[in-house]
């Protein structure tokens, strides 16, 4: 039976539910079956787990109050933003209570003089750029889901986006975060400036995937809108030619704001949908190349990029004639994942990273992996930094298809690691890639990561079962599983387990 076919067996005690409702109001504590099913998955629908309850706080103080209630009763909990994540990072494991943070949606302060904004973490990513555009600013990190994803989710996953090639990931734009620790204490990590004295706890928190605490407020850098932008669309009859073009553009010393690749299967899905952007459907691959900066010299930079495309057999290269055409191209690119719904009911989006120079061979092998498993593979990804997104549409109601997707995903991870890559570039590890962590880290490496997590989350209550896999030996005492269980049953072992929840899951 699937986890989603039944409500989590760990029911909340009635007294806990009553205390939660007293802290934030009856309507903001969800416990009914139909309400909870809404939260069984994130955007990666291969994994489904129904929470024991959902709380919807409206302030950091309400988050802290609810966390204290749950911590006092040893009940795990998991923060959740818009549910657009693609690694199962916001799912409820071990009967965790979901913290839905959508009500923390205020832009609290915009300080143009110091180029920063202070926002609650339920703010939608694109809303900050919309709020600052009239003054010539924007928030640079732009995930494809920016119309829906939240700042808190971006902080948790260290999200990227097309324009992070030039402007950097989320971590490069966060100056401070207000965090509710798993104890219920509210702390601030970082400061309002570029640097802060002492250990970089902010750097450790960004990208920790909700396992260190719940972010409730963030101080973010604002970036000037560029003076000029040139957006190119290059057409290629082979994926290999497009891949080689990517490496040559970067090797030539050109740093595009964005450099994206879209393959034929993705193009067809987009153009058959309401998101059509006017892409040609008879090509093997497209590159969207965007350069920006000062108006002086930008024309020459764009011309050099065109020359490199033509040298690599581009059939045609066109420049967006105005802002409207540029917006249309980017809208089609960023809605590619939605367009995949025309192919099948569910979608596996992988997120490995490889050296740019290995793009041609790796992409060829990814297509072969799909063929071996009888799956369609559609690639649309951040080619400029080698961040691949092989998409595999499938019917999640068919166990055989789900099994083949999981097997193909494992092979893709192994392939990318074998060429010097990594298992994730921006979507995070969550629960989907947790076993793949063993491909790149030793057990000792991961034990040390867990030691860092224990500083923030000593009882393991905050977003359990994510990022770091279960060990064959206890990370504290070094005992094997059976020896550990025997020791745990002793009175001393039980007391120690109560003190350090990490012992409970060796």
pTM of the predicted model over 0.85? yes
| Distance, CA of 196 to CA of 174 (rounded, Å) | 12
Q: What is the pLDDT of residue 488?
A: 43
Copy the structure tokens of residue 138. 């924007």
Q: Which is it for the CA torsion 180, 186, 187, 192, positive or negative?
A: positive
Where b means 16+ CB within 10 Å and e means fewer, 263-278 reads bbbbbbbbbebebbbe
Q: What is the pLDDT of residue 477?
A: 53
- The answer to whether residues 369 and 413 touch, using CB atoms and an 8 Å cutoff, is no
Class in CATH terms, 107-224: alpha beta
Closest CA relative to residue 180, chosen from 88, 275, 267, 65: 65
- The answer to whether residues 80 and 93 touch, using CB atoms and an 8 Å cutoff, is no
Q: What is the pLDDT of residue 471?
A: 66
Q: State pLDDT tens for residues 123-135.
A: 999 999 999 999 9
In eight-state DSSP terms, residue 219 is E
Give pLDDT < 50 ranges for the chain. Answer: 1-9, 481-506
Q: What is the pLDDT of residue 342?
A: 87
Closest CA relative to residue 82, chosen from 97, 104, 62, 67: 104
Count CB atoms within 10 A of the CB of residue 499.
11
Q: What is the pLDDT of residue 478?
A: 52
| Distance, CA of 503 to CA of 506 (rounded, Å) | 6
Domain boundaries, the chain: 3-100, 107-224, 228-393, 443-504
Q: What is the pLDDT of residue 196?
A: 76
Q: What is the pLDDT of residue 497?
A: 36
Tell me which of 3.40.50.2000, 2.30.40.10, 3.30.70.20, 3.30.43.10 is the CATH number of domain 3-100: 3.30.43.10
| Distance, CA of 269 to CA of 485 (rounded, Å) | 52
CATH for 228-393 is 3.40.462.40
Copy the structure tokens of residue 287. 């590159």
Count CB atoms within 10 A of the CB of residue 150.
28
Q: What is the pLDDT of residue 115?
A: 97
Q: What is the pLDDT of residue 197?
A: 83
Q: What is the pLDDT of residue 112?
A: 98
Q: What is the pLDDT of residue 418?
A: 97
Supply φ then ψ for residue 344, to 5 degrees.
-160, 175
- The answer to whether residues 469 and 439 touch, using CB atoms and an 8 Å cutoff, is no
């Amino acid at each position: 039976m699937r986890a989603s076919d039944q409500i989590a067996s760990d029911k909340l005690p009635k007294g806990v539910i009553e205390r939660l409702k007293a802290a934030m109001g009856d309507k903001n504590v969800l416990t009914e079956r139909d309400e909870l099913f809404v939260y069984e998955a994130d955007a990666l629908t291969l994994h489904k787990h129904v929470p024991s309850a959902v709380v919807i706080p409206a302030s950091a103080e309400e988050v802290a109050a609810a966390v204290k209630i749950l911590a006092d009763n040893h009940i795990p909990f998991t923060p959740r933003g818009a549910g657009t994540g693609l690694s199962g990072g916001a799912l409820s494991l071990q009967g965790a209570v979901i913290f839905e943070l959508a009500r923390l949606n205020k832009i609290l302060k915009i300080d143009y003089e110091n180029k920063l904004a202070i926002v609650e973490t339920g703010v939608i990513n694109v809303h900050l750029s919309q709020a600052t555009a009239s003054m010539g600013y924007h928030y640079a990190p732009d995930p494809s889901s920016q119309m829906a994803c939240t700042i808190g989710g971006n902080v948790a996953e260290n999200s990227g986006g097309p324009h992070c090639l030039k402007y950097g990931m989320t971590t490069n734009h966060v100056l401070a975060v207000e965090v509710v620790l798993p104890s219920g204490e509210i702390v601030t990590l970082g400061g309002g400036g570029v640097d802060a004295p002492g250990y970089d706890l902010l750097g450790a928190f960004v990208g920790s995937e909700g396992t260190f605490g719940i972010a409730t407020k963030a101080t973010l850098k604002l970036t000037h809108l560029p003076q000029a932008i040139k957006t190119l669309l290059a057409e290629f009859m082979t994926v290999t030619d497009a891949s080689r073009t990517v490496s040559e553009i970067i090797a030539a010393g050109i740093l595009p704001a964005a450099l994206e690749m879209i393959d034929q299967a993705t193009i067809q899905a987009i153009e058959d949908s309401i998101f059509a952007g006017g892409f040609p459907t008879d090509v093997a691959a497209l590159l969207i190349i965007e350069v920006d900066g000062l108006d002086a010299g930008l024309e020459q930079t764009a011309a050099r990029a065109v020359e490199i495309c033509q040298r690599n057999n581009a059939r045609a290269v066109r420049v967006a004639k105005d802002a409207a055409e540029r917006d249309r191209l980017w809208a089609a690119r960023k809605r590619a994942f939605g367009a995949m719904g025309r192919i099948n009911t569910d979608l596996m989006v992988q997120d490995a990273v490889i050296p740019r120079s290995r793009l041609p061979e790796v992409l060829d092998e990814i297509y072969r992996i799909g063929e071996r498993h009888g799956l369609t593979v559609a690639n649309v990804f951040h080619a400029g930094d080698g961040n691949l997104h092989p998409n595999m549409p499938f019917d999640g109601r068919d166990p055989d298809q789900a099994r083949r997707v999981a097997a193909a995903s494992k092979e893709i991870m192994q392939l990318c690691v074998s060429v010097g890559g990594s298992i994730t570039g921006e979507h995070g590890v969550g629960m989907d890639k947790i076993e793949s962590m063993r491909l790149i880290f030793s057990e000792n490496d991961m034990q040390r990561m867990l030691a860092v997590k224990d500083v923030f989350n000593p009882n393991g209550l905050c977003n359990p079962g994510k990022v770091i896999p279960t060990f064959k030996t206890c990370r504290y005492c070094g005992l094997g599983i059976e020896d550990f269980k025997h020791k745990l049953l002793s009175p001393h072992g039980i007391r120690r387990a109560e003190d350090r929840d990490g012992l409970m899951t060796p």
